[in-house]
Amino acid sequence: MARFTAMETGLVVVALLLVPPLALAAAPARETAAAPQTSKNPLLAQGWQEMRYANHPKAQKAFEEALARTTDREERAEATFGLALLWQSRPSGTDLPRAIRLYEQVAEEFGDTKSAPWALLALARNDDLPEYEKGRQVESARARYRRILKTWPDHPAADEAAYRLAQTYLEKVGDAASEDQGVAILKKWLARRPDNVMAAVMHWHLGGLYKLRRQYRLTLDHWAAADKAGIPGTEVRAMLCLSAGYIAEHQLKDYALAITWYEKITKEIVRDDRYYVAKIWADDCRKKAAAATGPAAGGEAR
């Protein structure tokens, strides 16, 4: 009977153990799903894509390589911003202090790049909405929002900064002076940039505030503007239209206006749970409108 020495046996075992890893290593790399790649630098494009697919180590490697290889300021700023975002949002092990340092680096050292306002906005948001509520620093957040408005007034980040700045005042429910300050910021911004990115959100918020103040016409004016600017998502839009119709019907007794709002749902947002309610409430409004105009038209009904 053939006998194996310990060495031979060991070699066989090692060989057998190595097969699966080698097999896996030898397996060809997967294709990459085609996604829009807008960054010109391929390493940056790769970094963003890997981050989107939550491949954080690969994303980090790509951004770090981009940073090491490029001298272009825009690209360096974008790579640093990518790394900051990575350390801010990776599901396994965030490093917020590191992310903040990197954001600060983008905002201070690369102030002339398109990444800078976004970095400053990220810092402001961290002051405004920190991980723990106790750590909130409203004044610091406001200062950063204001700096964005002053330094990059025509940048999309400024639109969000204007809204967030106003939000810090508007959130003090019942404090009329603070609310007025918030309203003034929004109105000023909407007058300056009526079609700004956040116009729908700004009008939505103003409408809600006027609803609390029982200024229903203003509520509906702002909600109409919000709807025109584009409320994203059918569910939120249906909710807004139903509330607006309800206000027009019950508070303003303006049945024609109420029908207009309800019909936005019955005609444009059929696939929402509010569809049937909007339909029956619109029918009710028609009946109420007919009842209101009937006696006035002839008087015989009396």
Partner 1 sequence: MTRPPEPRPAAAGAADAARESLLTEQKRRRWERAKNVVGLAILAAAFGWSVVHVTYQAFWKAGETSLTGDRRIIRFVHWQLEGGIVKAVDEACRLYEKIHPDVEVQQIEVPERAYTQWVRTQLVGRTAPDLIENRFEANWIVRYFVPVTERVDHPNPYNAREMDARLVRLLGGDPAQVPDLGVLEGVPWRKTYIDNMKGGWYWELQDYYAMPLSVFTVRIFANKNLLEAAAGDLLPRDPKTGQVRGPQDLETFFRVCDRIKAYGDKAGQKLVPIAGSDYVADIFRGRYYERCTWNLLAKGDLDGDSSIGNGERLLAVAQGDIDVVNDPDLAAGHKLLYRICQQFNPGFMNMKREDSVFMFAQGKAVMMATGSWEAGTMQQQVEGLFDILVFDFPMPRPGQPYYETIRHRITEAGTKSGFPMSLTKFSRHPDLAIDFMHFMSSRRVNEWLNNKFSWFPAVRGAVPAPVLEPFTPNVEGVYCVYWMDFGGDTKLRYDQQYQGFVGVSPPQDVPLAGWLDGHYKRFITRYMADYDKYVLQDFEKRWREAYTGTVQTEFQLAQARARVLRGGLTEQVRENYVALVLGQSRRIAERADDVRYFEAAKKIYAAKRAGGAE
Residues 211-270 that bind partner 1 (CB under 8 A): 211, 230-236, 239, 242-243, 246-247, 250-251, 270
Cα 125 to Cα 111: distance, rounded to the nearest angstrom: 18
Cα 234 to Cα 97: distance, rounded to the nearest angstrom: 38
Give me the least distance between CB of 7 and partner 1, in Å please: 18
Residues 162-201 that bind partner 1 (CB under 8 A): 163, 167, 171, 173, 197-198, 200-201
Cα 168 to Cα 294: distance, rounded to the nearest angstrom: 49
Using rule CB under 8 A, residue 39 touches partner 1: yes
Using rule CB under 8 A, residue 3 touches partner 1: no
> Which CB sits closer to partner 1, 68 or 236?
236
Contact by Cβ (8 Å): 252, 268: no
Instruction: Please return the burial class of 1, using the count of CB atoms within 10 Å of its CB with bins 0-12, 13-18 and 19+.
Output: exposed
Contact by Cβ (8 Å): 183, 219: no
Question: How many residues belong to the site for partner 1 (CB under 8 A)?
Answer: 78
Using rule CB under 8 A, residue 88 touches partner 1: yes
Give me the least distance between CB of 137 and partner 1, in Å please: 15
> Which CB sits closer to partner 1, 36 or 294?
36
Contact by Cβ (8 Å): 124, 138: no
Residues 109-168 that bind partner 1 (CB under 8 A): 114-115, 118, 121-122, 125, 129-131, 133, 156-157, 160, 163, 167
Q: Which pair of tokens denotes residue 79?
A: 């790579």
